[in-house]
Structure 1
Amino acid sequence: MHLVSGHSGRALLGAMPEEEAEDIILRAAQTPSLFLETDAACLREEVDMVRRKGFGWARDVTFVGVAGLTVPVPNPNGAPYLALTISSISQRLTPDRAKSLLPLLHATSKRIVAACQEQ
């Protein structure tokens, strides 16, 4: 799936250098169907949220009625190369529920990093 089309991709865009992410967004904007239920401006807002807060949360951007919470997984050798995402129907992944799940998502991310460093 394209980086602009899913919550995990949006987390990875937020972890990229700003110029690189913007280049991807501009190229994707030439094919509006890649944005599914959103547009480049909304994508930039979510990418900025990832940069400011270390996570992304959005609803109705991948599919109407679906919300997603995502965090990039740190990479000790450079930019994150994967992200963790919880997606659900919007009624189940409200902003309050996402806030309560965020510590678990961050903890899982740290466990992945630790497991990778052991190898």
Structure 2
Amino acid sequence: MAGKKTDNQALTPLQGEECIAARRDPNFMLSLARGLEVLNAFTPQRQRLTISQLSQKTHISRAAVRRCLYTLATLGMVHSPDGRHYELLPRVLAVGHAYLAGTPLARAAQCALDSLRDRLNESCSAATLDGDNVLYIARAAVDNIISMDIGRGSRLPAWATSMGRVLLSALPEQELEEILARAKRVPFTSHTLASLPQLREELDRVRRQGYAINDQQLEMGLRSIAVPLLAAGGQVVAAMNVGVHASRMSVDRLRNEVLPTLRRAATDLAMRI
């Protein structure tokens, strides 16, 4: 975006090198932005990536990706166990953990989720929208019901998750369409709603009913239900969900038994933030 940004203008998440290069602010550090884009390319689904894969995901040249990885490796944030694939090291977690654990929202959400988990004996999470992804800010798990290692700081595609769909449904139409258009909507399972017409219809339904159900669309055997977390002014600031194993609970039970408790927890949490 051409021209200087004032201090109170929010920077939107970067979408590849074209967006980065378009920023003409002399205070904008292109090299730092590239390094952060490389870090953001790692996800729970793709924990090990090559230089070529990182270049493709970030739209940054292979040479620039290689320099970013060299610097990040020197700082102890990534390493390459086989000389070809790169993966994150625990030091990366320390960068974001202080923020995620220290914000009032994250602290309050963790307390609420701990209580909700104990009441339902099911895994519970809270997340905010981070660009095109959901960012987990708190989680209280009872067992490992999914194969992906999900915890505070994890990011998943918003379009494919129950919390993400709750958050997307609250966006202005233009912003929502931009996110859906650039999302790589590759189905996770045979149940995944991945086409634009399907997603638009689903988000309309979520907007009307005030909750989202994800029935084995992210992973077979996993069902979840999510509701919005509202700030004092009524705007959606986060989402909360409960995840269950499909063999233990039907969609009807999820809606009839879990949803009322989840909604009360979200309402109680909203009063404390």
TM-score class, shorter-chain normalisation, is 0.7 to 0.9
1:36 and 2:188 aligned: yes
Aligned length: 113
Give the number of the structure whose alpha-carbon radius of gyration is greater.
Answer: 2
| Structure 2 CA distance for partners of 1:17 and 1:93, relative to 1, 3 Å | farther
Counterpart position of 2:168:
13
Q: In structure 1, how many angstroms separate the alpha carbons of the residues matched to 2:243 and 2:218?
A: 10
Aligned counterpart in structure 1 of residue 244 of structure 2, from 88, 96, 111:
88
- RMSD across aligned C-alpha pairs, in angstroms? 1.8
Higher helix share: 1
Which runs of 5 or more structure 2 residues have no equivalent in the other structure? 1-155
Contact 1:68 1:93 in 2 (8 A): no
1:60 and 2:216 aligned: yes
Secondary structure, aligned partner of 2:271: helix
Task: Return 77-86 or 40-49, whichever deviates more.
Answer: 40-49
Could you state the TM-score of these two structures normalised by the residue count of structure 2?
Answer: 0.38
Contact 1:7 1:85 in 2 (8 A): yes
Contact 1:7 1:62 in 2 (8 A): no
Task: Return 11-20 or 39-48, whichever deviates more.
Answer: 39-48
Q: Which has the higher contact order (CA 8 A, sep 6+)?
A: 1
| Structure 2 CA distance for partners of 1:97 and 1:24, relative to 1, 3 Å | same
CA deviations on 1:20-65 (whole Å, 9 max, x unpaired) are: 222211110xx233x5232134333331221010001121211122
Which runs of 5 or more structure 1 residues have no equivalent in the other structure? none
Contact 2:166 2:228 in 1 (8 A): yes
Identity among equivalent pairs (%): 29
1:4 and 2:159 aligned: yes
Higher strand share: 1
Aligned counterpart in structure 1 of residue 266 of structure 2, from 105, 109, 114:
109
| Structure 2 CA distance for partners of 1:22 and 1:92, relative to 1, 3 Å | farther
